[in-house]
């Protein structure tokens, strides 16, 4: 009995010491600022923050858990928009609101976590550094914590900073795909031969051999595109703004063959684990390309490919694969909108 009394006294003393140290030496709430820069214009960046459907697609707090369930409330964008979330696996829930918006300059968020009635306040300011670069500044004020919970304030800032670091990587990838698609669409000049330098790409896709009979090839491409698209979006959980236009790679002159072999893939920003052996990654090295944009029935692309090959031969350039980038997704019975790229070298 005496031992229990001694232990009880020790526990009480330790508890009192802990409470006193938390009360006198640890702030009941935290205020801190985090700054980051990103190589995209302020209007592109701001739209990823004031639209909460966009926001939850790249913010690590929401993307890091496969079990999180999010509900969105009108107006979905700007001041007054809100979400609620429940993460059953991690036993957390909360609500987030945009309380104030100054377009392309400032947003004020409130985040209520679990059963805490006091919100975390996050003000985010956006400052153009240049036409293509934006500084993002987070001003964070955490809610007051009772004495026995104040120890959490030791790691609150580090946890928030880590989340922002991971989120910025996701945001850069998301904006990169959006801007690339916008730029490609704006730059299209159909049936004009151009020279372009293409950067390295990482494609996730499928290897195929099929008949080159009339319409059979394109039907096969549509079928396999749907396979790859469904795998990337459903099995891997990727969203439209997380990947680029589908690319088909094949020999430049195999349009004359009875059988055609090709690789059809979707560009991703990095390798991920793939459990289905039907799909594999393929790296496309940087190259100089002769390029033509073509729109029409799929058979009509042959003339555009012949133009590229003739240009390469005239310039005494050797050439490799032909890459067909589908600016619009291939669909059965519809015309194609493709960028045809012939890699050339001396």
pLDDT of 60 above 50: yes
pLDDT of 270 above 90: no
pLDDT value of position 258: 87
pLDDT of 254 above 50: yes
pLDDT value of position 330: 92
pLDDT (average), residues 307-328: 92
pLDDT (average), residues 282-309: 92
pLDDT tens for 124-165 read: 999 999 988 999 999 999 876 554 454 454 446 788 889 999
Interatomic CA distance for residues 196 and 45, integer angstroms: 27
pLDDT value of position 4: 55
pLDDT value of position 72: 86
pLDDT value of position 7: 58
DSSP symbol at 337: E
pLDDT value of position 191: 81
pLDDT value of position 11: 58
Tokens 């950067």 correspond to 199
DSSP symbol at 233: I
pLDDT value of position 113: 84
pLDDT (average), residues 79-101: 90
Burial 280-298 (b: 16+ CB within 10 A, else e): eeeebeebebbbbbbeeeb
pLDDT of 16 above 70: no
User: Lowest mean pLDDT: which of 87-96, 127-136, 138-147, 291-300?
Assistant: 138-147
Interatomic CA distance for residues 120 and 126, integer angstroms: 20
pLDDT value of position 148: 46
Helix (H) / strand (E) element for 156: namely helix 156-186
- DSSP one-letter string for 71-137: EEETT-BSTT-EEEEEETTTTEEEEEEEEEEETTTEEEEEEEETT-SSPEEEEEEEEEEETTEEEEE
pLDDT value of position 187: 65
User: Lowest mean pLDDT: which of 14-18, 31-35, 302-306, 323-327?
Assistant: 14-18
pLDDT (average), residues 223-249: 88
Interatomic CA distance for residues 218 and 214, integer angstroms: 8
pLDDT of 22 above 50: no
pLDDT tens for 157-188 read: 788 889 999 999 888 888 877 766 666 666 67
User: Lowest mean pLDDT: which of 28-42, 124-138, 302-316?
Assistant: 28-42
pLDDT (average), residues 263-267: 95
pLDDT of 26 above 70: no
pLDDT value of position 28: 59
pLDDT of 239 above 60: yes
pLDDT (average), residues 311-325: 91
> What is this structure's pTM?
0.56
Q: What is the CA radius of gyration of the chain?
A: 27
């Amino acid at each position: 009995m005496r031992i229990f009394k001694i232990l009880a006294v020790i526990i009480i003393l330790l508890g009192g010491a802990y409470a006193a140290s938390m009360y006198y030496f640890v702030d009941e709430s935290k205020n801190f600022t985090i700054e980051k820069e990103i190589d995209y214009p302020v209007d592109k960046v701001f739209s990823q923050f004031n639209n909460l459907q966009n926001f939850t697609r790249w913010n690590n707090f929401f993307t890091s858990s496969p079990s999180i369930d999010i509900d969105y409330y009108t107006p979905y964008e700007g001041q007054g928009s809100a979400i609620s979330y429940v993460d059953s696996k991690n036993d957390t829930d909360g609500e987030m609101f945009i309380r104030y918006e100054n377009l392309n300059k400032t947003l004020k968020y409130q985040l209520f976590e679990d059963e805490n009635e006091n919100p975390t306040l996050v003000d985010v300011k956006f400052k153009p550094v240049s036409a293509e670069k934006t500084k993002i500044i987070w001003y964070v004020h955490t809610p007051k914590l009772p004495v026995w919970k104040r120890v959490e304030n030791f790691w609150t800032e580090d946890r928030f900073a880590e989340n922002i670091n991971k989120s910025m990587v996701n945001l850069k990838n998301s904006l990169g795909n959006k801007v690339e698609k916008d730029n490609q669409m704006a730059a299209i000049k159909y049936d004009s031969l151009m020279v372009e330098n293409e950067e390295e790409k990482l494609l996730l896709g499928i290897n195929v051999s099929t008949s080159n009979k009339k319409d059979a090839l394109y039907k096969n491409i549509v079928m396999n595109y749907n396979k790859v698209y469904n795998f990337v979006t459903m099995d891997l959980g990727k969203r439209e703004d997380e990947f680029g236009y589908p690319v088909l790679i094949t020999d430049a002159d195999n349009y004359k063959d009875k059988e055609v072999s090709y690789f059809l893939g979707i560009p991703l920003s990095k390798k991920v684990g793939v459990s289905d052996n039907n799909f594999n990654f393929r790296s496309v090295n940087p190259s100089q390309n002769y390029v033509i944009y073509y729109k029409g029935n799929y058979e009509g692309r042959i003339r555009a490919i012949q133009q590229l090959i003739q240009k390469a031969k005239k310039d005494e350039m050797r050439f490799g694969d032909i890459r067909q980038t589908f600016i619009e997704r291939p669909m059965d019975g519809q015309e194609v909108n493709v960028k045809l790229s012939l890699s050339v070298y001396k």
